[in-house]
Chains A and B, each alone.
Chain A
Amino acid sequence: MERDIQKLSGIACTIRQDIIKMLTESASGHPGGSLSAVEILTALYFSEMKVDTSNPRCEDRDRFVLSKGHAAPVLYATLAEKGFFDKKHLSTLRKLGSILQGHPNMNDTPGVDMSTGSLGQGLSAANGMALAGKLDNKDYRVFVLLGDGELEEGQVWEAAMTSAHYKLDNLIAFIDHNGLQIDGEITEVMNPESISEKFKAFGWNVIDIDGHNFEEIFEAIDKAKETKGKPTAVVAKTVKGKGVSFMENVAGWHGTAPNKEQCEQALKELGGAVNG
C-alpha cells in the first residue's frame, strides 16, 4: 500500500483535530493517550492494514486491538476518517445512545475488532485472533496497541509468553511508550522498565522506534514481516498529548477533556501543521 509520508502527516493532523473536537463536545474522555498514538494508527489504517470499510467483519482482514481502550477517541477518529462510519457520529462520543461508547465496543462501532477498556486483556485477545489465523491458514495479521502503564498488568506477561510460545509471527504489538500513566510517571508509579529487555527475555523480536516518525514505523513493520517464528514488539517512544503544547507530557491531561477555549487553542496549533 501507498506510503506517502506527506499525505499521512495530513491525515494524522486531521485525526488530531477530530480527537480534540470530539472530546470537547463530550466534555469527557482521554486526550493524552489518544494523541500519542495518532501516527501509529494512521500508519496502520492508511498504509498497512488490509481492511474493507464496506465489510468491516471480512474474515480475511487484518485485525487491530486497542488494548489501551481509553484511547477510544483516536480509534474512532481514525475509523471515521477511513470511512467505516459517518463523521457526524464523532460529536456523539460518550453520549447516551451513541455508537461511540466511552471505551470501544465491537458490537456498537463498525470497524472495532475487540471490546476493550479494562487494561491488560488486549494482547490475550490478539493472541486468540493470531492463533485462529494460524489454525485456518489465513494470512491476515493482528496488530495490538498497549500502553506502557498497562504493562504493569500481570496478564500482559502471561499473554507475552503465549505469543512467543505459539510463535505468533502474524502478530505485532505496539507499545505506546509515552512515559506516563494516571498517577504520574511510569518509573515512579510502578516501573515497567526495561520494556525492550523484558519482551526480548520473553522471546520476542523487539524494535525500538520513535512512535511519531512514519518512516520508523514502516521500517519496524517491514522487519516484523521478515521475522519468522517470533512475535514482534515495537516499543514506540511517544509524547503523551503530542501536538498540543499545553497537553504534551502532562499527566493531568490523561483523562480530562479540553474546554472551549483550550479546544480553540489546540485547533490553532494543529491547524498550523495541517497547512504546513
Chain B
Amino acid sequence: MANLATREAYGIALAKLGQENKNIVVLDADLSKSTKTADFKKVCPERFFNMGIAEGDMMATAAGLSTCGKIPFVSTFAIFAAGRGFEQIRNSICYPELNVKIAATHAGLTVGEDGASHQAIEDISLMRSIPNMTVICPCDDVETMSAINAAAVYEGPIYIRLGRSSVPTLNDENTYKYEIGKAVTLREGKDVTIFATGIMVNEAIKAHEALLKDGISAEVINIHTIKPIDEEAVVFSAKKTGAVVTCEEHSVIGGLGSAVCEVLSENHPVPVKRIGVMDTFGESGKPGELLKEYGLTADNIVAAVKEVINKKK
C-alpha cells in the first residue's frame, strides 16, 4: 500500500471491521463519500445511519447507541465534528465516558481549496481539553488502519484525526502494531528531538535526512497519540538531546506543541520550537502550497532545529 489518504485507509479498515463485529454502527452527516464511511455502508447498510446535516444531533445519538452496547464510529469533517459537536461530545459522550469513536476527516490546512471555514486547526486542542477523551492522529494509511482496529477494542471515547490528501506510507503493514499512548521512535539521534504527528511525521523524516548532511543528528518521534501523551518517551528523549522541535498541521496553541511543552516544563525544561499554524486562519489554495505558505515543510523544520540547537546551554 502507498500514498493513500488516511481517510481512505479509514474507510477500508471500517468496512472490514464492520463485517467482523456486528456491534459496530456508523453515523455520518451527509459526507459519507468524502469521509469514506460509504465503504462501510456498502457492506453493512443496515448498520449505517445517515443523520443528515446535523452534527450535534449525530454526536448525542451516538452516545445513546453506545449505552445499548453498540460501538458507534461517527464521521464528518473535523471542523464540524470537534467544532459543531463540541459540547455534545463533552457532555453526552465524555462526561458519561461512553464508547464512541469520532473519526474526523479533512483536518488541517490540507483540506485545500475549501478554505479557512473548512480547515480545522483547533480540533486537537478542543478534544484534548475534555476529560476522558483520547486523541489520535495517525501519520499514514498503515497506522490509520491499525489505530482504527485498536480504537474498536478500546473501551471509551476516542477522537481520531484524519486527512483529506494522500500521504506516503511510512510504516510496514506486516509488522506495524498500533499501541494507544505509545510513541514511536522512527529515527534515533542525539542533537535534537523532533516530535511530530499526522502528516508532519513525513516532513520530520525528510528534515532528519537533510540535517544529516549538515552533521546534525535528529531523533524523530511519532506522537500518534496526543492524549494521553507518552510522557516517558518525551522526557527520555529530551534528556538525551536537550532540544526539541514539535511539528503539527494544527494551531501551535493547544495541540501537540502545547502538550509536549506541558510535559517538559514540569519535568525537564529544554529549548523548544513549535512548528504549526501560528494563531491565524488558513485560506484557499492547493494543499502543498498551503503547507509552504504556513511554514509546515521539512525546510521549516530544519530551520527550527538550527534555531533551537543554538539555544542549548
Contact = CB atoms under 8 A, between A and B. Distances in A.
Do A and B pair up? The answer is yes
A96 B53 contact: no
A153 B58 CA distance: 11
A21 interface: no
A89 B54 CA distance: 34
B37 to A, nearest CB: 10
Contacts, number: 91
Contact of B54 (A105, A117, A118, A152): A152
A39 to B, nearest CB: 24
Interface in A1-55: 26, 28-29
A99 B245 CA distance: 34
- The size bracket of the interface on A is 20 to 34
Contact of A103 (B31, B56, B83, B117): B117
A116 B50 CA distance: 24
Contacts of A98: 284
A235 B51 CA distance: 23
A163 interface: no
A149 B53 contact: yes
Contacts of A228: none
Contact of B116 (A105, A182, A189): A105
Contacts of A115: 117
A270 to B, nearest CB: 24
B53 A94 contact: no
A94 B113 contact: yes
Contact of B33 (A94, A183, A190): A183
Contacts of B293: 96
A190 B32 CA distance: 13
Q: For chain A, what secondary structure do more than half of its interface residues adopt (helix, strand, loop), or is it mixed?
A: loop
B118 interface: yes
Contact of B52 (A28, A118, A189): A189
A95 B290 CA distance: 10
A182 B33 contact: yes
Nearest to B119: A102
Given A190-B30, A190-B54, A117 B284 contact: no
B290 A102 contact: no
Interface string B79-117: 110011000000000000000000000000000111111
Given A96-B290, A101-B283, A101-B284, A117 B30 contact: no
B254 interface: no
Interface in B26-66: 28, 30-34, 50-54, 56-57
Given A154-B54, A183-B30, A103 B286 contact: no
User: Which of the listed residues B51, B80, B84, B113 has the most CB atoms from chain A within 10 Å of its own CB?
Assistant: B113
Interface in A99-127: 101-103, 105, 115-120
A102 B28 CA distance: 23
B289 interface: yes
Given A96-B284, A183-B33, A190 B52 contact: yes
A181 B115 CA distance: 20
A97 B54 CA distance: 32
Contacts of B286: 96
B269 interface: no
A150 interface: yes
A120 B284 contact: no
A69 interface: yes
Nearest to A188: B50
12 contacts: A26-B113, A94-B284, A94-B285, A102-B115, A103-B114, A103-B117, A103-B118, A117-B117, A118-B80, A118-B84, A118-B117, A152-B53
The 8 lowest CB-CB distance pairs between A and B, nearest first, are A190-B52, A117-B117, A96-B285, A102-B115, A152-B52, A94-B113, A28-B113, A102-B114
Interface of B: 28, 30-34, 50-54, 56-57, 79-80, 83-84, 112-118, 283-286, 289-290, 293
Given A152-B54, A154-B54, A181-B53, 7 more contacts: A29-B113, A96-B289, A98-B284, A116-B117, A118-B117, A119-B53, A152-B53
